[in-house]
A and B are shown apart, each in its own frame.
Chain A
Amino acid sequence: SQKIEQNSEALNIQEGKTATLTCNYTNYSPAYLQWYRQDPGRGPVFLLLIRENEKEKRKERLKVTFDTTLKQSLFHITASQPADSATYLCALDQTGGYNKLIFGAGTRLAVHP
């Protein structure tokens, strides 16, 4: 079955450092992958989408890579700030289901001053 794995342990980093989050998937060939931010008790907020034919995408301090051979995406936040503290979810389109997403459980990021 299709499976998405994100590091369930919280990632603690110091302000100003680069945070790197990992998303791995199996039994799957998604057409695109998305990253979302979710704050406690709130719905996810879209951050970036990267397609299968793209290796890297950037948006301000965010960078996403997509390695379809390794079946892995890396999400980077450079010059991290305490306001970046949240849970970050990766999501992939379901096979055969246009725009239907499968989400990972998310990785909680804590940026300390």
Chain B
Amino acid sequence: GAVVSQHPSWVICKSGTSVKIECRSLDFQATTMFWYRQFPKQSLMLMATSNEGSKATYEQGVEKDKFLINHASLTLSTLTVTSAHPEDSSFYICSALTSGGVDEQFFGPGTRLTVL
């Protein structure tokens, strides 16, 4: 089956620093990847849609200058949280869309970000 990996699985950083999270589709090409954020006991909230070779589309209320997304290849999308603050601490999850009309998203294992 389609496998999506994320790196790192967890990260702790100081307030004001930037953190990059990678999302890779390991055995398929993904023209579209999504980035979600999940707070404890809450639902996944879509942050942005990442399309290979073009600018990401951000959901309402998500600051594009704070959450930088780059989808440079068909197997890699990165999310950079810039000038991180404690309120950015969350579980960040990416998903990749397979081609072939199955409308099925494959999710990565998630990255736990803790900002001190």
Contacts and interface: CB of A to CB of B under 8 A. Distances in A.
Contacts of A103: 36, 43-45
B8 interface: no
Interface residues of A, number: 24
In which size bucket is the chain B interface? 20 to 34
B43 A101 contact: no
A46 B104 contact: yes
Contacts of B103: 32, 49, 93, 99
B93 A105 contact: no
Interface of A: 4, 32, 34, 36, 41-46, 49, 89, 91, 93-94, 97, 99-106
Interface string B76-116: 00000000000000010101010000111111111010000
B112 A41 contact: yes
Contact of B105 (A4, A46, A94, A106): A46
B97 A99 contact: yes
Interface in B4-60: 4, 6, 32, 34, 36, 41-46, 49
Nearest to A91: B44
Nearest to A42: B109
Nearest to A94: B46
B46 A100 contact: yes
Nearest to A39: B109
Given A41-B110, A41-B112, A99-B97, A49 B104 contact: yes
B93 to A, nearest CB: 5
A1 to B, nearest CB: 11
Given A43-B93, A49-B103, 12 more contacts: A42-B110, A43-B4, A89-B44, A94-B46, A99-B97, A100-B34, A100-B49, A101-B105, A103-B36, A103-B44, A105-B41, A105-B43
